Amino acid sequence: MTERSIVPREAGAEKRRLILAAAVRVFARDGYHTSRVGDIAEEAGIAHGLLYHYFSSKEEVLETVFRDNWRELLGLIRRVEESDEPADEQLRGIAKILLRSWRNDPDLVTVMVREVARSPHLQGQVEEIREGFASIQRVIERGQAQGVLRADVDARLASWIFYGGLEELLTGWVLGQLPDGDEEVARAERTIIDVVCGGLTARDTVPA
């Protein structure tokens, strides 16, 4: 429970985490390209050379930040996928996971949204990202098979649209363009489900 209980082997993993956490803060503050290895080390309270005992390069630090976190999100998403809730509730669950990550760790979301959702850095990770989309797609397909969701829509495209909507909401917060707060996050959750499941089109409310 105390620091002293950490056995040597864990100490290495611990320091690794320390560096990753520092990197997230620095990347969130300055952006990956602008951040210097020395900044990360300073934020972590270590000599910059030590960073290279744990990571082979600055880029590997970013990749690790992404991979570790995406893996965790993926695990949560899969748990939702494997639940026996109806598809629309599963989508709501997935939205919850992603949107709430903003409140849990804004710096981390900032890095994920800014640096990873794109180009050069994600080259090696495309496969892992794809799994997230695949999970959403399966949820939709199952919903269609069970008649909960309409079947005349391309599930794959729909999964990209759904994910894109979520990511854009996160981006809105990251950029300070959308109002922040627990209440706002809850509203965003409701809204994306309202939009994606219910649709924006007004229905003629059937009169009594």
User: Of the two residues 32 and 55, which places its CB atom closer to a second copy in the complex?
Assistant: 32
The reply on whether position 6 binds DNA by CB under 7 A is no
- Interface pick for a second copy out of 7, 9, 33, 82 (rule CB under 8 A): 33
* Residue 24, CA distances (Å) to 39, 55, 68, 89 in order: 11, 14, 12, 32
**In the structure encoding, which two tokens stand for residue 191, read together?**
């809204």
Nearest distance from residue 33's CB to a second copy, in Å?
5
Integer CA distances (angstroms), 21 to 16, 146, 162, in order:
9, 43, 29
Nearer to a second copy, 17 or 83 (CB): 83
180 binds, among DNA, a second copy, none (CB under 5 to 8 A by kind): none
149 is an interface residue for a second copy by CB under 8 A = yes
The 38-77 contact track toward DNA, x by CB under 7 A, reads x-------xxxxx-xxx-xxxx------------------
Of 21, 97, 110, give the one whose Cα is nearest residue 64.
21
HSE value, Cβ hemisphere, 13 Å, CA-based, for 95: 27
User: Does residue 29 touch DNA according to CB under 7 A?
Assistant: no
Q: Could you tell me the smallest distance in angstroms from the CB atom of residue 77 to DNA?
A: 31
Q: Cα(94)–Cα(139) distance, rounded to whole angstroms?
A: 10
User: Tokens 């290495």 identify what position?
Assistant: 12
Binding mask 74-103 for a second copy (x = CB under 8 A): --------------x--x------------
Helices 155-174, 182-193: axis angle to 10 degrees equals 160
Residues that bind DNA (CB under 7 A): 8-9, 11-12, 15, 34-38, 46-50, 52-54, 56-59
